[in-house]
Structure 1
């Protein structure tokens, strides 16, 4: 028996519930984690989600902004919503599976702040907030580093490596790839003994992107992407993983998100 986990910044779940259905029909994830749902809990399209075959649903939303949701065919027994960086933004869900191949595994679904446009915390409160969030993630990772059975997925809003962006040189001063962000992300990875599951199967120097800006007139021509969406896990989980997929084609679907799904298969 195997399990397929998908993560996707959907950029409004109500607007793109049809694309969620398309993903499920074509790729059949057993667990689907969404970010930037932009939907309060009482407005979430739960009926549509359950029609897709997901009996177990956890949501953490707010009106118009942020929001995360986890759908599963496997039962989970706990759901936690943690507060990060002194804000009540809906940016985190934790679920622990009760049965099946992931029994006892805790899945963390994150939407890390984007950080605005100016990479200077002194003049940009959004970037300061992002760096505080990253520091707290590192402290949290340190606390859970000795435990196995951990998976962290989501839009982490950082492209950590030169081969995770279309141009390392041109993006060094652009939020999502600045040294303070990439070094902070690496510190978090080391502190939590996390393994980048995507790169375990698609190693560097392969270029790999999961986001292309809406500002680009034709994203397929210039291919100016960044890998902002991640699946990290403890070493025991990655050792059981059998493959990954970054669904680049989803960026070309009708009325798409600017992000594409990332999928991990676990034996």
Structure 2
């Protein structure tokens, strides 16, 4: 969807006349005290939208318009374009994602929380079968903005770990959970996160590659494998049997606690 088409969609949604020859900006607000759905400043070509007064159908249409504008590099929103689009999408479309976000609000560092929101949005777009360039761009934005922790959070989110971490956090003291959380997120560069889509063969190949690369470049000599849930734990167990045969002079330390398996490989 190119620029004129995007503006045409906005004009139809709010029944306004937008001057396509002028720069157009959108402000997103959530104000219960204001009953207007929007205010259009025609002279400046600025559209101020009040989300709280829009119907679910209108929010969905707006979400699609903003999503297309971001995907096509059309800067309609004045600031935080991606974050605003994420908010609209997640609030209106997935109770699963909003449950996760609501639960971790205030429980993890603020930057991690924002990275989690972006990662949940990325996961949702993937489920929607967004094009590969769009997915790659979203992932790269997370990495560029939040660094290694952002990459780890994105990988954890894609593997469904935050859904499982929510259940674990409910049964752990806050400080204990934060220690566990930091170990996973902070050490992600030396960790493999096993998801339900991971086969034992894929896991063996990944471990093999990580150990070989680590040895070649004089890395830490430590690799951790994390799995949550019965299926993932079984995948790890099968892979470990083969890993011990493939590699000489390695030691395995296995910890199983509350449906979480962590295998530390020293080599």
Report if TM-score (shorter chain) is over 0.5: no
Structure richer in helix, relative to its length? 2
Structure richer in strand, relative to its length? 1
- Greater relative contact order structure (CA < 8 Å, 6+ sep): 1
